[in-house]
Structure 1
Amino acid sequence: MFEHLFTTKLVGKGTGLGLAIARQIIVEKHAGTLVVNSTFGQGSEFEITLPIGN
């Protein structure tokens, strides 16, 4: 899901970049975490944690 160009949309209806870019910014640039909790038929919850800077 966090892979570059991953999408569940039809061809031409999305780039598949959103979560890959979000992961890059949160995890790689800011040393945070990005976790998804999903329950089929109920929805998904995204948890973003960023460290506190000094």
Structure 2
Amino acid sequence: RIFDPFFTTKGVGKGTGQGLAIARSVVVDKHQGTLTFETARGKGTTFIIRLPLVEPKSREEAA
């Protein structure tokens, strides 16, 4: 649910709930990566972003 647009745990007027939805869209949809998280109650949350490696284009391909 945390990656759903407009989902927020903040009070009214304290956020739009768009940040994680946009981050997921960029990482997963645009770059074919993964965005996961690990959470520990009372300790916090760690987000893990993994992006695939891409071979650099040759000068001929870049032109």
- TM normalised by structure 2 equals 0.83
Deviant stretches of 4+, over 2 Å: none
Within 1, Cα distance between the matches of 2:31 and 2:17?
Answer: 22
3-state SS of paired residue (1:2): coil
Count of residues paired in the alignment: 54
- Identity among equivalent positions (%) equals 54
Aligned-pair CA distance for 1:13: 1.0
C-alpha root-mean-square deviation of aligned residues, in Å?
A: 0.6
Within 1, Cα distance between the matches of 2:17 and 2:48?
Answer: 20
Any stretches of 5+ residues in structure 1 without a counterpart? none
Any stretches of 5+ residues in structure 2 without a counterpart? 56-63
Residue of structure 2 equivalent to 1:31: 32
| Larger Rg, first or second structure (1 or 2) | 2
